[in-house]
Structures are given as structure tokens and as C-alpha cells.
Amino acid sequence: MTDANFVMSPIRSDHGRPAARDAHDAHDDWRQRRLVAAGFDAQLATQLAHDGLVDLHELLVLLDRGCPPELAARILAPLDPPEPVP
Amino acid sequence: MTRPITEPPNLAAAEPAPLHAPLDDESREWLDALGATGHVRNEAVARLHELLLRAARFEVGRRRLALPHLRGGDQDDLAQQSAGDALVAILAKLSTFRGDSRFTTWAYKFALYEAAVKLRRRRWQDRELPLEPDTWPDIASRALSPADHAVENELLDALRDAIRSSLSDHQREVLVAITLNGVPIDVLAERLNTTRGALYKTLHDARRKLRAQLAAGGHDPTNDPGRHEP
């Protein structure tokens, strides 16, 4: 069992930012912490947490089956990454 | 005692039962207008959206006590989103309307469903999403005899051990979050960027493992100690 306590911090709308934006950031933060606790390094976890195209559940299922985190991320990487905005 | 002699039914002459109930006039008008083109359709879509918005506002208002921090503007935003999503869903499923109820009753349910889902998500948006069994809920809450209580306690201890030892980390988190901590499955699916179906499969696999572990330990998880045969 992992020892981290995966809970979300309360979401506040500070600095005049819309609450929806704060919620989005808080959810990304939760995903990032979840991935780090599962064994991903912080940089890859941050990248995956912000990538709306990666299925985190499937990532964690692969890890449960013994797949290394980096390989799981490559397996589930989107085939067609979005075009960069000029 | 003699049985009354009855004529066998004339199967050849029997009318085939209609697959769907006949539509009432109002429902037929709705379907015709929504299936039309141009101004007729646009006007029907606008009327349907008004109807859905009223339904969504009603549902949001009815459930607003569960979300005391939701302001009036947020409530109306939720109602608008619910009405919009319900409208899209109805237009996509128009061909599946069978006429079992009035069209407006059928449509109303889409708005109520969308509003309920959005409110549930909003309720969890600002809350902790517990994935660990920090405190085990008191499952054994029914009044049992001392003997049954002991049996149930033993079963619950075995269940806790099985959850800790036989499930993978992620299986355990999904099971605990949904079944013990009451996190709605669509909320967890959204947070993990996955589908409800994928989480259902994980739940199913986890439950199967738990049943097997309990059975291997000599427990019968289907045997309810509180239920006695007459």
C-alpha cells in the first residue's frame, strides 16, 4: 500500500482567478501527486498530469502489473500529439 | 372437479402486438418538428431548450441545499450547462424515443439527469478525494445477536485483511474511494482522465479477488449472519 495520503486541498479562488481555473490546477496537482506516489519521477508526473490526453487509470493499471513508469508513459502516449500553437 | 372447456386461442388470427406504444398528438408534433428542417426545426429546438432549462433550474434549485456555497450565478450556469448538454443528448437519441411516455416527460429526464451529474461533480470539486481507508466506516451497523455479531466481525476483519493484502495499490484505491468513501464513479473517472467503464472493470476485478480470498480463508461472503432462514 502506498503511504501517501492522496487528498485534494481545498480549492480557493485567490487573486481574482476564476474558481474553475483554480479547480483545474488543483486537479492537475492531485494527479501529479498521485503519479509521484505511484513511482513516477516528478518531471514526468507533472507532464502527464497536465496532459489531458493520457488516461491515468490505465497508467496506474500498467504499474500495478509491474510495468516501469517510463515505459507505461510511452505505451499510453497519444499517437497524434496536438499541433503546437504558433 | 371438472375443468371448464375453453376454446384454444386462434393464433393465426391474433394481431401482432405493436412494438411501441402509439404516440400522442403532442409527442408526434415534437418529433415532426425536430425532424424537420429550417425555421420549423430551429423553432422546435429553441422551445425544447426552454423546456429543458426550466427542468434544470428546478432540479438545481431542489438540490441547492446540498451545495450551500453555490451562488445564484453559479446555479444558473449549472442549469444552462445542463440544459445545453441535455439538448445535445436528446437530439442525438431522438430515434430511440419509443413513446412509452410523453415526449416532454422523456426529455425532462435528460435535463434532470444532467443537472444531477453536474451538481454531484460540483459538490466533489472542492472536496477531498479520499483514496485511502484512513477510517473504516462502520459497516456492521445492524442489530445482531452476540453470536452473529462475532461472526460478522470476523468476516469484516477478513475483508479488511483481504483489501490490504490481495489487491494491487490502484485496485485498492479505486475500491476504497468508490465503495467505502462514497466518491461518485464519474467524479473519479474525470479526475483520472478515464472512463466509468474502465473503473467498473477494476471494481469488478477487485471484488472477484476479495471473494476468492475470503472463500480461501473459509469465509462465505454471501452468508449474511443477520439473515436467518424461516
* Cβ–Cβ contact B191 with A under 8 A: yes
Judge contact between B167 and A41, C-beta under 8 A.
Answer: no
Q: pLDDT band at residue B123, thresholds of 50, 70 and 90?
A: confident
pLDDT in tens, A25-79: 788 888 999 999 999 999 999 999 998 889 999 999 999 999 999 999 999 988 7
Q: In chain A, what residues touch B191 (CB-CB under 8 Å)?
A: 27, 30-31
Which candidate, B85, B165, B72, places its Cα nearest to that of A1? B165
Q: Could you give all domains of chain B from N- to C-terminal order, each with its CATH number?
A: 25-125 (1.10.1740), 128-230 (1.10.10.10)
pLDDT band at B125 (very low <50, low <70, confident <90, very high): confident
Name every residue whose Cβ is closer than 8 Å to that of residue A37 and which is 6 or more positions away in sequence.
Answer: A2, A4, A6
pLDDT at position B83 is: 96
Provide the whole-model pTM: 0.63
A10 reaches B (C-beta below 8 A): yes
Taking each continuous run of H as one helix and of E as one strand, the counts in chain A are 4, 0
Backbone angles phi, psi at B150, to 5 degrees: -65, -40
Does residue B81 register a pLDDT over 80? yes
Q: B22: exposed, middle or buried (C-beta count within 10 Å: 0-12, 13-18, 19+)? A: exposed
- In this complex, which of A27, A38, A64 lies closest to B191 when CB atoms are compared? A27
Contact A55 B192 (CB under 8 A): yes
Cβ atoms of B184 and B124 closer than 8 Å: yes
Give one DSSP letter per residue of A8-71, joined into a string: PPPP---TT--HHHHHHHHHHHHHHHHHHHHT--HHHHHHHHH-TTS-HHHHHHHHHTT--HHH
pLDDT at position B218 is 85
How much of chain A exceeds pLDDT 90, in percent?
A: 47
C-alpha cell read off for B174: 479505486
B 147-186 residues inside an 8 A Cβ radius of A: 164, 168-174
Distance from C-alpha of B119 to C-alpha of B125, rounded to nearest angstrom: 10
Residue B143 has pLDDT above 70, yes or no: no
The reply to whether B194 touches chain A by the CB within 8 Å rule is yes
The overall longest dimension of chain B from CA atoms, in Å, is 75
| B39-75 pLDDT tens trace | 999 999 999 999 999 999 999 988 877 777 777 678 8
Which residues neighbour B81 within 8 Å (Cβ) at sequence distance 6 or greater? B114, B118
